[in-house]
Structure 1
Amino acid sequence: MIASAAWRTLARGLVELAYAETGAGDHPVILLHGLAGTAQEWSATLRALGDTHRIVALEQRGHGHSTRMPQDVTRAAYVADVVALIEQLGGGPATLVGQSMGGHTAMLVAAEKPHLVRQLVMVEAGVGGGGDAATAPVEQWLRSWPARFPDRDAFIDFFMSADRGAARSTGTAMAGEAWADGLQFDAGGLVPCWDADVLIEALRAVHVLPRWRAWESVSVPTHLVVAEHSVIPTEQVERMRRGAHVERTVIADAGHDLHLDQPQAWRQTLERVLNASGPVTEDR
């Protein structure tokens, strides 16, 4: 898990954002988790790259140790949070790495504030859209969570057996352990660090329409990291790949939580991207 000394806070009006920071450098690498995730799922990435890069993992509003029930969960609010974080870290430019909904947020930041973004890494993330049909299976999964789990083993049993629909992972044991790290303790055991109603409202804002105009305005080097068993529609990924500044890497034997399903392949991919002088030219 992430060491307690790494944690910082950022006040955004009535919302307080928690983030973990390690390493040093002029160009931070900001990691944005997906829906219902936490910064803890990036702990191995922080450990692996913290000696050579400045790595920052944000717990987005409605998640983790950040304000659990913010009034505003629009796409604009999530974008403004990331912009405020970049400015707190020194004004960038930063590399934005976002998984799933975090990747959608990162894309919008790159589209709206290109001077703050050095490069964009979208991990199992697309342009959104799909409406209620896309939201429904994720909502069902979120509402299936018990209010609390007596211990880690009980959570991992639930995680491995639950029907995630189009929600998150292939359900590997490594992914289960990482998700367990994001649970919070209370007197009765371990509890989720989010409210289902808040997250569903936030997700609907992603699914309301595809943001192709924003995608087409992204001008920074962009890397699509997709899973062999991706939940992002193939036709969407193929359209996203048409940009001259866009490259793709496919992680074998992984699902939507590819950074947890195949952590070594993920870290190698990210390190390769970060160390490249320009866009990655290898398409695996």
Structure 2
Amino acid sequence: MTLTAADGTRIACTDHRPAGPPGAAAFLLLHGLAGHQGEWDALGARLTADGHRVVTYDARGHGAGTRIPPDTSRAAHVRDAVTVIEALDLAPVTLLGQSLGGHTALLLAASQPRLVASLILVEAGPGGPAPELPGRIARWLDSWPTPFASLEEAAGFLGHEAWTGTLEQHEDGWHPAFDRATMISTVAELATHAYWRDWTRITCPTLLVQAEHSTMRADEPATMLTHRPQTRLVRIPGAGHDVHLDQPARLHEAVRTFLLDLDQA
């Protein structure tokens, strides 16, 4: 289905419902920069099998939504998540976001606590400021040897088959489906801002998932726990930044244990 944000941006989303009546909290899954909602297929299938309703969507400027939206700010991304939650009547929802999607989830939990039952951050935190980030993202995008001759070649370079969902086929091969300038502008605020005040405003139960081969700042997880000691931290062995793609079974187990413990508290 497609929803429309207040500024006209199209948001492509998918509502995955369990086979029987929903017996557990709904999830909203938020992907990272230059990604797409299909990245969640493996984890989402496990969550729906547990009885959860699972909603995924393509962030603005990504996937099947508006390619070049008029606004790429952090606030615009938060508003999109609110649009999905309210349009599909998900509240209170469990937010699970990876990387940039996790940052969006963090800001939403801080600003709209009535909408959020619990928060799960995968390789994401308040961070910042990171002045080198836009340049690093630009170099990463420019390193893609596009056009790819095949999806197999693309998967080999990008590291996961799921990443081929960011590509579209032209006459000369496979190209990114997103706009380079939009991706860079999407991280612009992260270059100049930190979000620790937002982190301290969050009141819902929170799980922080860090990869064994994490790209988070070395001191960030410990500092997050210092500011909010009730946060649970789980480290996933054998995973890089894309924990949900590298180790979906282990991520699912961490999420399931977190929710079971909340139910028993």
TM-score (norm: length of structure 1)? 0.85
Superposition map of 1:78-93 within 5 A:
78-93=77-92
> Residues 168 and 174 of structure 2 are in contact (CA less than 8 Å); yes or no, is this contact kept in structure 1?
yes
Flag as ranges the 4+ runs of structure 1 deviating above 3 A. 24-27, 185-189
The count of residues paired between Structure 1 and Structure 2 equals 258
Contact 2:61 2:182 in 1 (8 A): yes
Structure 1 equivalent of residue 250 of structure 2: 265
CA–CA separation in structure 2 for the residues paired with 1:271 and 1:101:
22
- Alignment partners' CA distance in 2, 1:22 and 1:225: 23
SS of the aligned residue for 1:95 comes to strand
Distance 1:279-1:259 versus aligned 2 partners, 3 A rule: farther
> Who is 1:179 aligned against?
163
Aligned-residue Cα RMSD (Å) equals 1.9
On the 8 A contact 1:20/1:58 being kept in 2, the answer is: yes
Identity percentage of aligned residues = 38
Once the two structures are TM-superposed, the CA of residue 278 in structure 1 deviates from its matched residue by 5.1
Secondary structure of the corresponding residue to residue 129 of structure 1: coil
Q: Displacement of 1:49 after TM fit?
A: 1.6
Question: What is residue 37 of structure 2 aligned with on the other side?
Answer: 39
SS at match of 1:45: helix
Q: Tell me the equivalent position of 1:48.
A: 46
Match of 1:75 in 2: 74
2:251 counterpart letter in structure 1? W
Task: Give, in angstroms, the shift of residue 29 of structure 1.
Answer: 0.2
Cα 1:92–1:35, aligned 2, differ >3 Å: closer, same or farther?
same
Name structure 1 gaps, 5 residues minimum: 1-7, 160-170
CA contact (8 A) 2:43 2:249 kept: no
Corresponding residue number in structure 2 for 1:204? 188
Q: SS of 2:121's equivalent? A: strand
The equivalent of 1:107 in structure 2 is 106
Q: Give 1:120 shift.
A: 0.4
Which residue matches 1:118?
Answer: 117
Residues 221 and 279 in structure 1, CA contact (< 8 A), matched pair in contact too:
no
1:228 to 193, 204, 212: 212
Aligned to 1:11: 4
Q: Does 2:237 correspond to 1:252?
A: yes
Partner of 1:276: 261
Q: Give the distance between the partners of 1:214 and 1:203, measured in 2 at CA.
A: 17
Unaligned runs of 5+ in 2: none
Secondary structure class of the residue paired with 2:144: coil
